[in-house]
Amino acid sequence: MKETILSNNERVFVEKSIEEVLRIDKRQLTEFRNLGIFFGKKYGSVLVSLGDTRVFANVSCEVNIPKTTRPNEGTVFINVEMSNEKMSESCIVTTRILERTIRDSRCIDLESLCIIAEEKVWNLRVDVSILNNEGNVTDCACIAAVSALAHFKRPDCTTSGDGEFIIHKSSEKDLIPTVLHHYPICMTYALFKGKIPIADPTLLEERVTNAGLTLGINSYKEICSLHMTGVSLTSPFLIQKCSEMAAERAKHVVEFIKSTLEQDSIDREKSNVKGFKQSIILTNVTSNFCDEQSIDNNAEEISEVASNHDEIIVVSQEQKFKKIDENTISTTKWKDENEETSSSDSEIITLSQSNQEKSKVESMQIDSSDDEEKETIILN
């Protein structure tokens, strides 16, 4: 999708209002937008919304050969896809930030993903799909990826000594959750004038600002990754200040993820899983719900024209001619000829085809009459 042009007026307006500690969406400078996490019916899929930004993430697993340098560890692969654009620059940047925050911080216990050392390990794949970009995609994608990993459960494996192993179905053996040592969360700040950091920038703010700071931080106040964009004169104290604020926020986010996961497992125990339906707010005017509806098998209210048109009818050769006879057209001569040539007893024809046959027959009839004038009139 083509980006709209950012006007100077908009730029000046946003910059000035931030100097006056005001934001266009009435937020405080360090306030984040509302976060929503919705888990799917199956393990490992999640829809995260941060304000109007929406990201879908899904984790899947596959048995693979481990890396030769780390023969007893599983692997993690992160793939980010943006809507509307294929492999853009921002897409690659987001992928790298997620890789550094989640994979390189070693928050996943990769050794537990090992089935047989040097031969078979689990390979986790995180597919992150950015559905709507309303600013701060990185944070949203990171929360989605981490909560999907925390929600994911893989099938159990048993190994026999001679290098063979069995992957059990969920009905045979309970699924195993992924072990996460800590939950690293990305926090983005946009820097204005090099000294005013604003949390969770919207798309407009992201475009106006000349520098940004993304911190990957966990609930233990440990910085896992740091990414800076743009050019700005800042002081080291600012980064320190930002990281302190981020650590505070990360704690809340992790708590929120954990409480949502807990709620989800309670729902699953009661076998009351709503899936992505729960993200739909039914009180909105744009939403609608319709409960299970039974279909009346015997109702005959459908229009006859439509039903006759689509149905495929098997008509044997004899029946076919019976039908034609019903239409009071006597074509004995033609019938004999046709019987000689046709070998199959039955063939599939639609009703419209049979109509075509009928018209053929009519033209045949006309042929037999000698009057040439009449023939042309009817054929037209």
> Where along the sequence are the contacts to another protein (CB under 8 A)?
1-2, 40-45, 47, 52, 54, 56, 58-62, 81, 83-84, 125, 127, 129, 131-134, 153-155, 167, 169-171, 275-277, 279-282, 284-297, 299, 302-303, 305-307, 309-314, 348
Kindly tell me which of 114 and 242 has the beta carbon lying closer to another protein. Answer: 114
Tell the smallest beta-carbon distance from residue 106 to another protein (Å).
23
Tell the smallest beta-carbon distance from residue 267 to another protein (Å).
14
Tell the smallest beta-carbon distance from residue 188 to another protein (Å).
18
Kindly tell me which of 218 and 260 has the beta carbon lying closer to another protein. Answer: 260
Tell the smallest beta-carbon distance from residue 45 to another protein (Å).
7
Tell the smallest beta-carbon distance from residue 291 to another protein (Å).
5
The token pair at 364 is: 């045949």
Tell the smallest beta-carbon distance from residue 300 to another protein (Å).
10
Kindly tell me which of 126 and 224 has the beta carbon lying closer to another protein. Answer: 126
Kindly tell me which of 49 and 101 has the beta carbon lying closer to another protein. Answer: 49
Helix (H, G, I), strand (E, B) or coil at 38: strand
280/211 Cα distance (integer angstroms): 36
The token pair at 294 is: 């039974």
148: amino acid identity, one letter: A
329/316 Cα distance (integer angstroms): 19
Instruction: Give which of 167, 148, 145 is closest to 156, Cα–Cα.
Output: 167
58/71 Cα distance (integer angstroms): 26
Kindly tell me which of 292 and 372 has the beta carbon lying closer to another protein. Answer: 292
Kindly tell me which of 98 and 254 has the beta carbon lying closer to another protein. Answer: 98
Neighbouring C-alpha atoms within 13 Å toward the C-beta of 97: 31
The token pair at 168 is: 């059990």
Question: Which residues, at least 6 apart from 206, have a Cβ–Cβ distance to it below 8 Å?
Answer: 135, 136, 190, 212
